[in-house]
Amino acid sequence: MSNLRYKRYKSKPAKYGAVSNSILEQIAEFIAGHDIRLINYGPNPLLLLAMLLAKVAEIDRSLSQTQIRKSIEGLERRNIISLEEINNEVHVILEEKGKQKVAQYSLAKIMEYKRRQKKWNGKWYMVFFDIPESQRNKRDYLRKFLRNVGFYQFQKSVYIFPFECEQEIEYIRNIVESAKYTKYIIADKIEDEDKIRKFFNL
């Protein structure tokens, strides 16, 4: 949006992609702290731009406002976010590409929170999938996604988590478009349990 562009100043270069990742992580933090379904609400504003700038600067005090703003402009050019002025306030809105990126950050934070709580009921929450070879990219993306948000890879197409995560799995199914290939199962006992318990520090 041309009326929302910023003046460009010289500033010290930051690590490539580091500022953009920090921006997306802060958007994810906002979503994880509210309701993961926010990400599905289309073009509704997620976050005030001023709030986002302040949060990113607070996390990394070595960054200038100019560096953060340039990274926001870069994310906008790549159609990951957009900026919209509403009632004289600029809001950050996730585009479709941004939803997938931020979803992984948000889910990882939610799953990590569940792990820290350590309220284990002795059950195992398992995800099975059988995605055809013709959709190998989708299959590989799902595997990587599950690992990145904290699942244990039990077999190539079987992933395990020790805490209830049905809503999160449903959300992953929608993101990866793999609902018809994915099954969610709750198990009382599995082989090699000691190894998995060690992985999750249970």
Residue with tokens 């793999």: 178
* Domains assigned to the chain: 2-97 (1.10.10.10), 118-199 (3.30.70.240)
**52 with 27: CB under 8 angstroms?**
yes
pLDDT of residue 116: 86
Residues of the chain short of pLDDT 70, as ranges, are: 1-16, 31-46
pLDDT of residue 46: 66
pLDDT of residue 151: 94
What pTM, to 2 d.p., does this model score? 0.65
Among left, alpha and beta (phi > 0; psi -120 to 50; other), residue 88 is left
pLDDT of residue 6: 41
Among left, alpha and beta (phi > 0; psi -120 to 50; other), residue 29 is alpha
Among left, alpha and beta (phi > 0; psi -120 to 50; other), residue 199 is alpha
pLDDT of residue 32: 62
Among left, alpha and beta (phi > 0; psi -120 to 50; other), residue 81 is beta
pLDDT of residue 8: 40
